[in-house]
Amino acid sequence: MILASVTANNFRNLEPDPIAFHAQTNLVVGRNGQGKTNLLEAIYFLATTKSFRTPRLANVVRFEQPSVFVSGALQRQGIEKTLSIGVEAAESRRRVLMVNEESVSLHDYLAAMSVFAYSAARLEILRGAPEERRRFLDRGVASINSAYLQDLTRYARVLRQRNALLQSGLQGSLEAWDAEFAISAAAVQRARAAYAGELSAAFGEIVGRHGYHIRDLQMTYRPSSVDDLARVRRLEIRARTSLAGPQRDNIEFAIDGRNAAEVLSGGEQKMIVLLLKFAKLELFRRRHGESALFLLDDLDAELDLEILQNLLTRLPSETQLFATSAKEPVVSALQAGPHRRLLIEKGRVIDSRDFS
């Protein structure tokens, strides 16, 4: 799939000018605070209805504006589509999703365009809380199995009901929900386990292809079993919340049995997370027969020129790349193949040049 252009209205500091992209590589350069990351975030927002920087969508709306609107022209499997999303900044958060100027459901909208993103915040996959690792896994599962979002929604609904019973003190009704709780939890955990296994294998293959020196990373999915809810019943009643289930799952990343975040340098952590993203791209390509878009924010932070060159030339085939950098000399020195270089200033692309 290829994103041909994007237009953002009231999205952070971006000006409402159409921005056209190269079908292969787009390098967005400019000084800090000029809108480079905002452009990548707008693309992510267009594809996912979310931000990769903040959980509060109100933060992407330009100050004192009532709403935000982003549209884009997409080419996928020989078919051209237009996508657009509008969200109100008011408390209602009313959202309008459209494909080819027709309103569609969230499920159909998310199926139209797929994107993976890397930013500094993604290092939390290794060193952050288990919640971040669960999100990392869930986004990957959903990218190759659209029905998984329904499984997550079903489990979340049952979990809320069960927790409400625990908080209300009406424990006599718990057993009636236990079976549904176990069934919905099992669907989520089966999908997570299967994807974690595939991702680990794909990651190993990609590390080998890149010749990266860290080859002994172990990624282990640790589900929180719901097979024996009676065993934790007394503890749950005391805590007034569910103490087992997918909301307590974790993924462990280890090097020789030690926490990877504690033994890897900052640059090594960034490379590991990048290669994990490449593995997710590869699994998407295998499932759908095409590549998703890839967003790489601040591509030169903690990586030397040789590693950058290796990354750009070994992306999964036919992946449209969008990358940002504040270092024009680094970008100029890269041999990125056919690409477009976009210079952004005060939220507007002031120069766009193609290189072969």
Is 66 domain-assigned? yes
Residues 138 and 271 in one domain: yes
- In terms of Cα–Cα distance, which of 111, 112, 76 is closest to 4? 76
Flag the least confident range among 10-14, 110-114, 213-217, 258-262: 213-217
Average pLDDT of the chain, as a whole number: 89
What are 267-289's pLDDT values in tens digits?
888 888 888 999 999 999 999 99
pLDDT at 340: 93
Residue keyed to tokens 């002994």 = 216
Is 120 domain-assigned? no
DSSP 8-class letter at 353 = E
- Could you tell me the two tokens for 107? 């499920």
pLDDT at 7: 97
Is 75 domain-assigned? yes
Residues 283 and 302 in one domain: no
What are 65-86's pLDDT values in tens digits?
889 999 999 999 889 999 999 9
Confidence of residue 187 (pLDDT cuts 50, 70, 90): very high
Cβ–Cβ under 8 Å, residues 69 and 57: no
CA distances from 46 to 19, 65, 324 (A): 14, 18, 18
Residues 18 and 68 in one domain: yes
Please give the tally of structural domains in the chain.
Answer: 2
Segment 39-61 shows an average pLDDT of: 89
Is 131 domain-assigned? yes
CATH number at residue 157: 1.20.1050.90
- In terms of Cα–Cα distance, which of 93, 250, 74, 235 is closest to 166? 235
Q: Which of 271, 288, 305 is the last residue of a domain?
A: 288
Tell me which amino acid residue 77 is.
Q
Determine how β-strand 79-88 pairs with β-strand 95-99.
antiparallel
DSSP structure string for 275-330: HHHHHHHHHHHHHHSSPPEEEESSTTTT--HHHHHHHHHTSSTT--EEEEES-HHH
Segment 49-67 shows an average pLDDT of: 85
Residue keyed to tokens 């993604």 = 122
Residues 169 and 224 in one domain: yes
Q: What percent of the chain has pLDDT over 70?
A: 94
Residues 148 and 228 in one domain: yes
Instruction: State the first-to-last Cα distance of the chain, in angstroms, to the nearest integer.
Output: 21
Q: Which of 242, 261, 288 is the last residue of a domain?
A: 288
Residues 273 and 143 in one domain: yes
Q: Which of 288, 307, 338 is the last residue of a domain?
A: 288
pLDDT at 118: 87
Segment 6-30 shows an average pLDDT of: 94
Residue keyed to tokens 């990769």 = 52
Determine how β-strand 293-296 pairs with β-strand 321-325.
parallel
For residue 258, give its domain range: 127-288
Residues 164 and 19 in one domain: no
pLDDT at 301: 65
What are 145-155's pLDDT values in tens digits?
988 999 999 99
Does position 302 have pLDDT exceeding 60, yes or no?
Answer: no
Helix-, strand-, coil-residue percentages of the chain, each rounded to 5 = 45, 25, 30
Segment 111-129 shows an average pLDDT of: 87
Flag the least confident range among 16-25, 148-157, 211-220, 239-248: 211-220
The contacts of residue 223 (CB under 8 Å, 6+ apart) are 189, 192, 193, 246, 249
pLDDT at 171: 66
Query: Is residue 333 helix, strand or coil?
Result: helix
pLDDT at 214: 83
Residues 145 and 244 in one domain: yes
β-partners of residue 324 are: 28
CATH number at residue 348: 3.40.50.300
